[in-house]
Amino acid sequence: MGFISRSIKVVLVRIVAALHIVDRDYYSASYPDIAAAGCDPVEHYVLYGFREGRSPNRITAGCKAAVSTTLRNAIMRATGFDQAFYLAQYPDVALAGVDPLTHYLRYGFSEGRRRNERKVRFKKTLIFFQAVLAFANKRNRPALARHRHEFVFELARNGSRLWVRLLMWFERFLSSRSGTKIFARCLPLTNLTKDQVDGISITHVAPARPYSFYEPKIVDENALRPYRTVEVPAKWVATVAYASIVGGFQVVAGRRFVQYEPAANPHSDFVAGSWPFARGVTGSGFVAVWYPYERKAVLEEGILLSGRCSPNYYHWLIEYLGRLYTILQRPELRGVPLIVDAQMYPQEFESLAAMCPDWPIYRLDRRTMLKVTRLHIPSIPTFLPDSVRIPFWKGSTLCDESLTLIRDTVLNRYGIHFTKPLTRKIFLVRRGARTILDVEELEAALVDMGFECIDTGVLTFEEQVRLFAEAAMIVGPLGAAFTNAIFCHPDCKVLGLASPYVKRFCLQGNLAEFAGCEYRILAGDHPSYRRGDEYAMEDVATMHSNFSIPVEKLVLAIEDWLGEARDAGAAAAG
């Protein structure tokens, strides 16, 4: 409707008003936001309310309610959905205050949640028989080992610590008979920031502090931008005696599982990078660790720089490379080998070389269990949890000190000096997953506007840094490339293109704010999206699915923004 001419809109409003379809009093009373905004009920319903599913009058509302109740009862009978069980099994749904059946149909089914107790028992029984077959059969060990792995982690999720420990012991027994190597243990959890343990000492560098920011401006939305305050974690360096690095850079020491990343609690619903290797035992302070490996190695002393998500440019630059700031506060650690993930991308190793070219590096393959006599673990400077069960703003913490170190060091290393005027306009091309549908049409329109379409994935780290430092405007779908915003000139304008489900994602805006840039989000379209879904969506696959951006909407957003900048410049000059 946004592109229909004004005359057609006026005619439609008059027709609906003449037919008395909209009960003005009912509509205003039912939707206080309309009354508060001072909108004409008929005009609002024609232009917006119809698409948003709002009821124009009491009769329509009553019919919708009757149909909805009948359909709801039919679905519950057909599927055997148990509301009480669902709410008891998934307290996050109860806390969110959403309707359990609606949640299951829209999110729970695709997330693999159970709708009743019978479904849970069936799943457990299926996994149990698969595991029994696996334990009894020595053939096809890799495939059967996966069933044993799944069964043990399912038991951990259900809080069966005794069975987890017994099956871990049996897995080690099978491993010794077959000649394979596996680290399978049920270990107590130690949080470095909360627990005192023999063999682990901590040197405090800086206390935690607040970090405040406004949520990003969303194009075509005039709501007030909420002001948020989160906490930057305290900075410290832990020294652990006789530690082992296993799996996705998890640490085990003194028969304990050592948690050093704030966002990597194994009891969380999902932890990227570590979920295949560690699972918290529900209702206890224990962790099930399952790590098949090929070899062992020994290192006398090392600094753990990488973490669970190192092979990800976004996490690497913000969470792990930034740990160098804390390490540099301990001069005695200079020259101690930095332990990094061998699976990282070349650009990540280039960034490490730019930051500390003379520092020894130990590349650790994830199939190698590394035993370190003296392991130094610097704290993570941010809090970027994987959970979709907390608001986006709570997981948008940045550390200005670590980002300043990275930006200043890298710009000096490459001899980059900000110059004006800025002229390059860049569209960040993203191929494959989590991309924009019909992106070729967008690219053609942006090229006509003077944009360069660039895939940063084929650029070196230095080329990416120079690209962002020279840009007057950057447009593109939210992704790892936006991490380079810390290298932007303060006059650069950054426009993030996002699925409507993640339009309140704050981190890229905070990165642009760090560089002094103005940042906005343009929310696209998704066929499944309904108003308010950005607050309730818990299906990661849907959140990261492809979306569309109307060409006219994007072009208008850019032209309006550039027009605002020209007007502001003219006013300042006058």
Residue 258's alpha-carbon distances to 166, 188, 263, 298, 384, in angstroms, are 22, 9, 13, 19, 19
What is the C-alpha R_g of the chain? Answer: 27
Report d(CA 390, CA 392) in Å as an integer: 6
> Is-contact 510 395, C-beta < 8 A?
no
- How many Cα atoms occupy the beta-carbon half-sphere of 383 within 13 Å? 21
Residue 507 corresponds to which tokens in the numbers above?
């981190």
Report d(CA 122, CA 290) in Å as an integer: 24
pLDDT number for residue 24: 84
Report d(CA 403, CA 397) in Å as an integer: 12
Looking up tokens 């696959």 gives 541
pTM above 0.85, yes or no: no
pLDDT number for residue 124: 57
First to last CA, the chain: 39
Burial of 11: CB neighbours in 10 Å, binned 0-12, 13-18, 19+: exposed
Report d(CA 172, CA 434) in Å as an integer: 40
Indicate if the alpha-carbon torsion angle 385, 388, 394, 397 is positive or negative.
positive
pLDDT number for residue 135: 56
Residue 32 corresponds to which tokens in the numbers above?
């206080």
Looking up tokens 């946004």 gives 2
Report d(CA 333, CA 311) in Å as an integer: 25
Burial of 260: CB neighbours in 10 Å, binned 0-12, 13-18, 19+: buried
pLDDT number for residue 4: 45
Report d(CA 225, CA 212) in Å as an integer: 13
State which residues of the chain have pLDDT below 70.
Answer: 1-7, 61-62, 64-69, 77-79, 88-89, 91-98, 110-112, 117-143, 269-271, 388, 431-434, 537-541, 573-574
The residue ranges of every structural domain in the chain are 1-79, 116-180, 186-378, 414-573
Concatenated DSSP letters of 103-163: HIIIIIHHHT--SSHHHHHHHHHHHHHHHHHHHH--SSHHHHHHHHHHHHHHHHHTT-HHH
DSSP secondary structure letter of residue 99 = -
Q: Are strands 451-454 and 424-428 parallel, antiparallel or unpaired?
A: parallel
φ, ψ of residue 396 to 5 degrees: the values are: -125, 30
> Is-contact 292 182, C-beta < 8 A?
yes
Residue 166's alpha-carbon distances to 179, 218, 267, 571, in angstroms, are 20, 53, 20, 75
Concatenated DSSP letters of 170-211: HHHHHHHHHT--EEEEEEEEEETTT---TTEEEEEEE--EEE
Residue 328's alpha-carbon distances to 236, 296, 321, 402, 475, in angstroms, are 11, 30, 12, 11, 35
Report d(CA 43, CA 24) in Å as an integer: 10
- C-beta atoms surrounding 532 within 10 Å: 9
Looking up tokens 């001072």 gives 38
**In this structure, which amino acid lies at residue 392?**
F
pLDDT number for residue 265: 86
H/E stretch holding 292 reads strand 286-292
Residue 544 corresponds to which tokens in the numbers above?
């990261």
- Taking each helix axis from N to C end, the angle separating 117-136 and 161-178, rounded to the nearest 10 degrees, works out to 20
Q: 414-573 has which CATH code?
A: 3.40.50
pLDDT number for residue 18: 79
